[in-house]
């Protein structure tokens, strides 16, 4: 019974992923590599095509120009997405059903949409210049690095120490995590010094503020803790992350 439920969730997430990739591919312009000869010199160019009001137009740029470099980047992005799409298991079985998961569209204008995620700003605190480096960021603790590593392993997009205004006060939440397979993002708040009485009191106050202002634990935010007596268990955290993704699928999709 449990395995059947997990299988159903996995299929829904895979369908959403395929639909998301198709949407990204459709948004990219049609670009072709070519060449032109000027005064006997052959130059590589990139051409892209637009169709406005039923009229097809061709635009051409040298590969060395700023626009040419941008077009090369788009071509690589399209190639990467196409390769990734072809590598997905069960693609043929699920591809004709990609429109059946409409839950993502329902959430697109919500406070946890991709558009809202993109607007979130990272604190980038310079006081942690001696922090632990990973993925182009400096983290405050090994535990946070391990969380970030797992998020990256899952292919989830994340931001570290995002600035969030709640009840008129500014908070710096450790992680904001977006999943294209659910079409939503969620927060992770890690409390790493729960052995300290003052720290623990502040942590409980934060949790109370988050929940009383509409953040649902297990759907919108998950809390992870460690103390001197209870060390950091990455496998437990992995379970929580997979659990919140599953809960979002069951709740919204």
- pLDDT class of 212 with cuts at 50, 70, 90: very high
- pLDDT class of 205 with cuts at 50, 70, 90: very high
Structure tokens at 249: 């699928």
Domains in the chain with CATH codes: 2-101 (no CATH), 105-252 (3.40.1350)
β-strand pairing of 184-191 with 221-225 = parallel
Average confidence (pLDDT) over 213-218: 92
Distance CA(150)–CA(67), nearest Å, equals 36
pLDDT at residue 222, as a whole number = 95
Average confidence (pLDDT) over 209-227: 93
List all residues 6 or more positions away from 48 whose beta carbon is below 8 Å from its beta carbon: 29, 30, 31, 32, 58, 59, 71
Whether 8 shows a pLDDT value over 90: the answer reads no
- pLDDT class of 111 with cuts at 50, 70, 90: confident
- Cα separation values, 197 from 72, 201, 202, 208, Å: 55, 6, 9, 17
The Cβ of residue 251 has, within 10 Å, a number of other Cβ atoms equal to 13
236: helix, strand or coil? helix
Distance CA(148)–CA(139), nearest Å, equals 9
SS (H, E, C) 136-191: CEEECCHHHHHHHHHHHHCCCEEEEEEEEEECCEEEEEEEEEEECCCCEEEEEEEE
Question: pLDDT by residue (tens digit) across 164-184?
Answer: 999 899 999 999 999 988 889
Closest to 141 in 3D by CA, of 151, 150, 131 = 131
pLDDT at residue 18, as a whole number = 74
Whether 87 shows a pLDDT value over 90: the answer reads no
User: What DSSP state is assigned to residue 215?
Assistant: P
Distance CA(80)–CA(32), nearest Å, equals 16
Distance CA(235)–CA(30), nearest Å, equals 44
Per DSSP, what are the bridge partners of residue 34? Answer: 45
Contact criterion met (CB below 8 Å) for 145 and 136: no
pLDDT at residue 63, as a whole number = 80
Closest to 144 in 3D by CA, of 237, 215, 220 = 237
- pLDDT class of 9 with cuts at 50, 70, 90: low
β-strand pairing of 137-139 with 41-52 = unpaired
């Amino acid at each position: 019974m449990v395995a059947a439920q997990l299988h159903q969730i996995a299929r829904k997430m895979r369908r959403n992923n395929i639909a998301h990739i198709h949407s990204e591919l459709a948004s990219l312009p049609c670009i072709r590599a070519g060449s032109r000869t000027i005064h006997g010199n052959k130059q590589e160019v990139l051409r892209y095509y637009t169709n406005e009001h039923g009229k097809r137009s061709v635009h051409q740029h040298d590969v060395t120009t700023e626009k040419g470099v941008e077009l090369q980047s788009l071509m690589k992005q399209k190639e990467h997405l196409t390769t990734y799409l072809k590598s997905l298991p069960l693609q043929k079985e699920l591809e004709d059903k990609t429109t059946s998961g409409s839950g993502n569209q329902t959430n697109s204008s919500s406070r946890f949409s991709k558009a809202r995620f993109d607007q979130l700003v990272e604190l980038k605190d310079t006081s942690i210049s001696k922090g632990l480096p990973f993925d182009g960021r400096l983290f405050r603790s090994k535990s946070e690095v391990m969380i970030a590593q797992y998020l990256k392993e899952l292919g989830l997009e994340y931001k570290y120490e995002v600035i969030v205004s709640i009840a008129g006060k500014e908070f710096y939440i450790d992680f904001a995590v977006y999943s294209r397979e659910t079409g939503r993002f969620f927060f992770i708040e890690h409390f790493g010094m729960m052995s300290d009485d003052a720290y623990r009191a502040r942590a409980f106050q934060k949790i109370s503020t988050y929940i009383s202002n509409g953040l649902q634990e297990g759907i919108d935010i998950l809390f992870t803790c460690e103390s001197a007596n209870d060390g950091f268990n990455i496998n437990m955290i992995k379970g929580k992350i997979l659990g919140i993704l599953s809960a979002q699928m069951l709740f919204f999709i």
